[in-house]
Amino acid sequence: MTRLVLLMASVALVVFTGATSNAFAQSKATDTFSSFTKLAMGGTWTATVGDAKLEHSYSWAAGEKFAQLKTKGGISPSVAIFGVDLEADSCNWWFFSDDGGHSKLLLTQESDGVWILQGQGMGVDGKTKYKSRVTRIDDDTINEDIVELVGNGVKQPNTTITWKRQRRDK
């Protein structure tokens, strides 16, 4: 259970990356993308789950149209790319773990400072399913309420993870 929560927590924060550009037509997807970018970029986000410490570092990719997340801690190093899927007009992220697992999730904005992240993928132990509500507490704190987590066909308990940012400019 802890390994699965750590993996999904590592995956989830990737939603806080992205970029804005005048080249993108204004849409609900680009608005969501922009609001996460504004919150997430600039510093390193950390969380503790049980005895494990997680760290997420972000960098821009592809001319600042996408962003990349690299994770430390948890069960497997990983990388994720987040951005707007122009064809589907949706905010998506694509997650890849060093052990070969992969997921695609959809990000929607529920209200100001509240987003829903949900999707599925394939881990090394089988199919995964994930849904969380991500809430901005302040500029440097995010609560991630995991409301559905299935790993290898087994439903896991709901949990809340608090992420804190250490800014580079401080």
The topology (CATH level 3) of 2-166 is: Lipocalin (2.40.128)
- Please report the pLDDT score of residue 12 as a whole number: 46
Distance CA 28, CA 108 (A): 9
pTM: 0.79
- Please report the pLDDT score of residue 114 as a whole number: 95
Pairing of strands 114-123, 66-72: unpaired
Distance CA 110, CA 91 (A): 13
Burial degree of 63 (CB within 10 A; 0-12, 13-18, 19+): exposed
- Please report the pLDDT score of residue 23 as a whole number: 46
Give average pLDDT by consecutive 10-residue segment, the chain, 170 residues: 50 40 68 86 90 86 83 80 90 87 91 94 86 95 92 82 84
- Please report the pLDDT score of residue 78 as a whole number: 85
Residue 47: helix, strand or coil by DSSP?
A: strand
Cα end-to-end span (Å), the chain: 35
- Type of residue found at 9: A
- Please report the pLDDT score of residue 77 as a whole number: 78
Delimit the domains of the chain by residue range: 2-166
